[in-house]
Structure 1
């Protein structure tokens, strides 16, 4: 574990002790849920509904405490805190988890997803190969894959018009610190710059980077539109997140609580799909309102195909690093998602 994660664990063990003692007094159990995003985000909407349903179904026997982004550190810290049992549940994006288990980088392969997000959501939430391959790999890290869901299309917000690969010349693009994402933008012709989420605004403002990639809700919430001039839909990726549980904690749950957890997460799939669609649409309206001169660009299919062709080696790189298990996962996803490309 990172030193920072260990320090956070020690802090939480002390800081949360009174609340746990209080929970014992009133015979409640606390489930702690860490988020990669701020209040009002897709992950927060998901966690708040999860909290409401769990507490209602358990008649208050279980209380869910939610920790928004920044409370407990960066995304990598949340994964570490869940693995060591400080948190029971956390969100973990596929880009972040790519450094931990190579198989999950499959979701970072450009132009993998269907054009129909309902198909994408259904596959993410229920495809058994995902939960076998990725689930098995995570268990080795004392983590359990509980579910996955979409947060929206990944949009380029830039200070320069990008329509062709050559437009990326001398362009510094902030990316997640995931090998396949970095390779993708190198192949596109950009200079990929891994930075923590919290540093993106300042880096754009000070021209340390020239652009970044995130869903619309994130671009509005974090005010990235204030320091960029273009929003570009290139169709290359959907932002996907997972809900992870501490494996030892999950195994310690009663049969009743395991069923409660699994049933609630299954019910959440349709709920979060509709809400992320609505939130992204609402945030785009806000961006247009607060910055009327923001230039919105939707690449044509021909323009997208140029980037797709350049990114072809990413698939081969994934297969090389993920082995037979990764190959099985990729083929299963390509078959499931090919209905409506």
Structure 2
């Protein structure tokens, strides 16, 4: 029986596939390369010495997605695929709603048709909105501030309703905080298309000389140094959280949400200083206006995942900085062929 990983060539997906293969799972990847590159598949094989099936299919393409279910005995799904840039979602909301929600509906309909009722869904801490105090727990009221976050929250609700309608389903909703870092080999990592939306790839692109300086949005927040505080988690810790969630959905039924974070908050300047310390590379930065929709502080209470999934983060901020730099310095152009 195989695990279907949608978006498995992407940043978090590829690291999760490595952990799945290393743990002995058989894997089928579906990806449309909208935010990933074919080269990553070669590197996954190189890191694991294992093979897997790959289909270049968009989740909106029902006919070809159905072939994946017809041609493989699938036991469960880890669902990463989706558009994920907050700013872009504000500019083109209809594309985000259509892609993320319709794609998930088609996936779930096919899962139901082929009696595959175990799913781990890649949600986000954005579902906590702007009005909750950190540390954030899973039972807080949910709200969103942008279409990307709204698609995550809507999909969580769709999956809850699926379970209400059919109690054979087993569903884990994983709310990530801020994934950074890369595989310690430096062979796979985050390779964003265009200007990075996230802090760490921006820092590493400055460090490698691809960008002139880092923009720090706001230094007048109510935090220890005025810059925004977030919960940064190493992508390999995050990947291992998916394996733990998968073990749970394969052995139980029900629907549960889990925070995947470290429970510690670091400011933007904390990350810059840790990066400089871990790598010896200086990061020039400039302070800019706050961005709309950004909050001062956001970090997880990860106790529920520890208790129910037997998962907790292990890697430090220094590990995250060092591994991010190893990836970027050895792959200055990302996955582009050398």
TM-score (norm 2): 0.34
TM-score (norm 1): 0.34
Larger Rg: 1
